[in-house]
């Protein structure tokens, strides 16, 4: 396409797939939203408490306290902390799985070390002796030290030292440095137990701290050691949107988050034996495509096409051309079970963490990963003959996308713009020069999911268009990155035409799209590192840089944890969906006011459900930061 795909066109494709579903009696999230509307007002305001069996208690003007006497601020605050802890647990456990995979690496095993340089760099950072060690001996030692970050009895997270000194000092002064990750999660659940904390300040404080244990702990380990295992992403060209499914090929969709599974599936889909098997059943070959964050992981390391994001997951099955949808953990609709049964699709679950009815469970682990992946690919290939050709409907929507902008890659490509010298790790100075000169006005880190409360993808796509037109560069991850990909905003040729003059010039000089794909939702930890490097290279505290965070369509507990660690790192954060706190004026003030978290971390939240206004507020915030800096 030589233009962007509009949200209306995306919706038209979805509608044609829903028609396909009707032919076989398929349910859909669109229908379930109708069934669930209107939502419970108490739940939406965060004013329902069911942490003990005396209730549930619901706060109203006539009943201002729960049976235990807790007021609305304590109830909303506890709910917010539990929400955050759930997200930190999920993200960090993903990171832990990666550490276990690192511990299983062998020169001739299922998993190897693909980026030894990064492993050595982190070992040095952590004070682990590297001299004279075999790379696998070192990998196992680093994995053991990393796993201790989850449960060590003393000390703070090792990666906190990567933050600028100013940020570390803020955390220290406010007592926000996270200890062991599991300790922070269990402390949060202890605090929210009946009869413990109900003081808003304490609940919000712990929400930031458990969030930081995710961002600067579990997620950062997930990202860094995925790079060590599977390679640090570099820019690579791929394709996106539902049209990446191939009519004449066996289509296998990988969905979830942990790249340990999808890497192996990709490997066996290229196995000559499997390709020959595919040809023997009448297919032209095997096509792997991704959904959600798994799509981001395999796209940026292998150029695998990206079929869609969170609310597109049913669409891939509705095409009638999906032989298998293979999932690991997180963001997987249980609806995929019954939906797959309406078609010939095999729905394969692989993790004991995500057991789902109506799926075929093939437990995947590092020791047996090769044989598990081969069995799954074979099952999908053999299922090709069960495809009902009259049900095949693959909408003709496909975009080009350049993905894989790790911090290392951004530093490298932007060096060409301002001709600065790059040292061993590299420097963000060229990017800073673009910002201080005004060629770029600033940057927005846009992340997060889809949510039916927001017109799906509309907020992501329209906000990105508005921001790039105002010379604001985007760094995106998770399903926000997928929304950009589906629209064509990751296409360097197409997207630059929608930019302001300054950003367009940067895109042309560096040959980049104006929206930089940084990876999956754990990779928001990369954004923390980028913000830290910008701060160190400029000497400007993170909160004063013209850079903000945004999650316009977020929906998951992980997203709340992310929001907390992004804001606690000093980035003002803009949300398009309310995090169930509007029932408490005190909690709202703590999160969004001048006298709350801002006094600890110099940044806070803005919640604005009007997407046009949300964009205006981000631009206003960026311009006011520029004015304060005198640039
Ligand atoms: S997959 S957490 S819907 S970004 Fe990471 Fe997408 Fe949100 Fe899941």
Atom of ligand 1 nearest to the CA of 449: 7
Please give the average per-residue pLDDT across 618-628, as a whole number.
98
Please give the average per-residue pLDDT across 346-356, as a whole number.
97
Report the C-alpha gap between 422 and 429 in whole angstroms: 9
Q: Check pocket membership of 449 for ligand 1, CB cut-off 6 A.
A: yes
Report the C-alpha gap between 301 and 258 in whole angstroms: 13
309 CA distance to ligand 1 centroid (A)? 8
Q: Where are the beta strands (DSSP E) in 258-337?
A: 286-291, 306-308, 324-327
For residue 58, is pLDDT > 50? yes
Closest residue by Cα to atom 8, ligand 1, is: 331
Pocket residue to mutate for ligand 1, from 93, 215, 292, 522, most atoms within 8 A of Cβ: 292
226-284 pLDDT, tens digit per residue, is: 999 999 999 999 999 999 999 999 999 999 999 999 999 999 999 999 999 999 999 99
User: What average pLDDT is seen over the chain?
Assistant: 96
Closest residue by Cα to atom 7, ligand 1, is: 449
For residue 111, is pLDDT > 80? yes
- For the record, the structure tokens of 27 come out as 């349910």
Q: Which residues pair with 71 in a beta bridge?
A: 65
For residue 427, is pLDDT > 90? no
Whole-model pTM: value is 0.96
Confidence label for 29 from pLDDT (cuts 50, 70 and 90): very high
Report the C-alpha gap between 510 and 559 in whole angstroms: 31
158-175 pLDDT, tens digit per residue, is: 999 999 999 999 999 999
Q: Check pocket membership of 244 for ligand 1, CB cut-off 6 A.
A: no
Confidence label for 365 from pLDDT (cuts 50, 70 and 90): confident
Amino acid 621: pLDDT: 98
67-92 pLDDT, tens digit per residue, is: 999 999 999 999 999 999 999 999 99
449 CA distance to ligand 1 centroid (A)? 5
Confidence label for 417 from pLDDT (cuts 50, 70 and 90): low
Cα end-to-end span (Å), the chain: 38
Answer yes or no: are the C-beta atoms of 225 and 102 closer than 8 Å: yes
Q: Check pocket membership of 448 for ligand 1, CB cut-off 6 A.
A: yes
Pocket residue to mutate for ligand 1, from 255, 453, 478, 559, most atoms within 8 A of Cβ: 478
518 to 236, 465, 481, 524, 622: CA distances (angstroms): 12, 18, 8, 8, 21
Report the C-alpha gap between 203 and 372 in whole angstroms: 43
- For the record, the structure tokens of 438 come out as 């005004």
Amino acid 367: pLDDT: 87
595-609 pLDDT, tens digit per residue, is: 999 999 999 999 999
Amino acid 425: pLDDT: 57
For residue 423, is pLDDT > 80? no
Confidence label for 422 from pLDDT (cuts 50, 70 and 90): very low
Q: What letter would DSSP give residue 71?
A: B
Pocket residue to mutate for ligand 1, from 90, 483, 521, most atoms within 8 A of Cβ: 521
Report the C-alpha gap between 442 and 474 in whole angstroms: 9
Please give the average per-residue pLDDT across 174-193, as a whole number.
98
Confidence label for 286 from pLDDT (cuts 50, 70 and 90): very high
Report the C-alpha gap between 193 and 208 in whole angstroms: 18
80 to 75, 86, 558, 580: CA distances (angstroms): 9, 10, 12, 7
Closest residue by Cα to atom 3, ligand 1, is: 449
The 3-state secondary structure of 175-214, one letter per residue: CCCCCCHHHHHHHHHHHCCCCCCCCHHHHHHHHHHHHHHH
- For the record, the structure tokens of 545 come out as 């840089």
Atom of ligand 1 nearest to the CA of 480: 4
Atom of ligand 1 nearest to the CA of 558: 2
Q: What letter would DSSP give residue 569?
A: T
Amino acid 419: pLDDT: 52
Please give the average per-residue pLDDT across 343-368, as a whole number.
96
Amino acid 51: pLDDT: 96
376-400 pLDDT, tens digit per residue, is: 999 999 999 999 999 999 999 999 9
- For the record, the structure tokens of 605 come out as 């939240």
520 CA distance to ligand 1 centroid (A)? 8
Q: Check pocket membership of 311 for ligand 1, CB cut-off 6 A.
A: no
Please give the average per-residue pLDDT across 30-36, as a whole number.
98
């Amino acid at each position: 396409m030589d233009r962007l795909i509009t949200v209306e066109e995306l919706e038209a494709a979805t509608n044609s797939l829903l028609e396909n579903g009707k032919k076989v009696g398929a349910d859909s999230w669109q229908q379930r939203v109708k069934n669930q509307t209107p939502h419970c007002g108490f739940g939406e305001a965060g004013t329902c408490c069911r942490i003990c069996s005396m209730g549930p208690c619901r706060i109203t003007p006539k009943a201002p306290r729960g049976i235990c006497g807790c007021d609305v601020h304590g109830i909303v605050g506890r709910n917010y902390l539990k929400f955050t802890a759930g997200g930190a647990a999920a993200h960090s456990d993903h990171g832990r799985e990666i550490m276990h995979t690192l511990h299983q690496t062998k020169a001739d095993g299922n998993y190897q070390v693909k980026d030894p340089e990064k492993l050595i760099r982190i070992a040095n950072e952590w004070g682990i002796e590297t001299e004279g060690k075999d790379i696998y001996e070192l990998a196992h030692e680093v994995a053991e030290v990393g796993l201790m970050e989850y449960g060590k009895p003393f000390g703070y997270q090792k990666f906190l030292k990567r933050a600028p000194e100013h940020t570390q000092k803020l955390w220290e002064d406010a007592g926000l440095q996270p200890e062991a990750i599991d300790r922070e999660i269990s402390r949060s659940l202890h605090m929210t137990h009946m009869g413990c904390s109900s003081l808003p300040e304490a609940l919000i404080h712990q929400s930031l701290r458990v969030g930081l244990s995710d961002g600067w702990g579990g997620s950062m380990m997930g990202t860094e050691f995925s790079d060590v295992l599977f390679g640090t992403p570099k820019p690579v060209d791929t394709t996106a949107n539902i049209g990446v499914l191939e009519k004449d090929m066996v289509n296998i969709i990988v969905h979830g988050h942990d790249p340990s599974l999808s890497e192996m599936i990709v490997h066996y889909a290229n196995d000559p034996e499997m390709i020959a098997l595919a040809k023997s059943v009448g297919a032209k070959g095997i096509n792997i495509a991704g959904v959600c964050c798994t799509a981001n992981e395999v796209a940026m390391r292998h150029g695998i096409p990206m079929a869609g994001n969170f609310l597109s997951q049913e669409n891939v099955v509705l095409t009638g051309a999906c032989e298998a949808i293979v999932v690991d953990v997180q963001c997987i609709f249980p609806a995929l079970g019954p939906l797959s049964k309406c078609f010939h699709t095999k729905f394969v679950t692989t993790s004991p963490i995500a057991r789902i009815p109506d799926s075929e469970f093939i437990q995947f682990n590092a020791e047996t990963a090769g044989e598990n992946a081969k069995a799954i690919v074979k099952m999908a290939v053999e299922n090709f003959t069960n495809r009902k050709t009259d049900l095949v409907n693959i909408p003709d929507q496909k975009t080009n996308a350049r993905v894989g902008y790790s911090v290392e890659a951004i530093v490298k490509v932007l060096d060409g713009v301002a001709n600065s010298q790059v040292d061993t790790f590299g420097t963000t100075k060229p990017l800073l020069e673009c910002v201080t000169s005004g060629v770029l006005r600033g940057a927005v880190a846009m992340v997060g999911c889809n949510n039916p409360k927001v017109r799906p993808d509309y907020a992501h796509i329209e906000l990105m268009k508005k921001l790039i037109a105002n010379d604001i560069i985007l760094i995106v991850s998770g399903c926000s990155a997928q929304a950009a990909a589906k629209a064509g905003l990751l296409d360097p040729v197409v997207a630059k035409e929608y930019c302001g003059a300054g950003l367009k010039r940067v895109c042309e000089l560096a040959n980049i799209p104006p929206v930089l794909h940084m990876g999956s939702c754990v990779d928001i930890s990369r954004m923390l590192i980028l913000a830290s490097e910008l701060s160190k290279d400029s000497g400007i505290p993170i909160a004063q840089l013209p850079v903000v965070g945004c999650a316009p369509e977020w929906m998951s507990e992980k997203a709340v944890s992310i929001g907390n660690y992004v804001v606690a790192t000093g980035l003002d954060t803009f949300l398009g969906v309310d995090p169930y706190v509007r029932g408490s004026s005190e909690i709202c003030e703590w999160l969004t006011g001048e006298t709350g978290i801002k006094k600890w971390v110099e940044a806070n939240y803005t919640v604005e459900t009007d997407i046009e206004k949300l964009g205006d507020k981000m631009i206003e915030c960026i311009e006011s930061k520029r004015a304060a800096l005198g640039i």
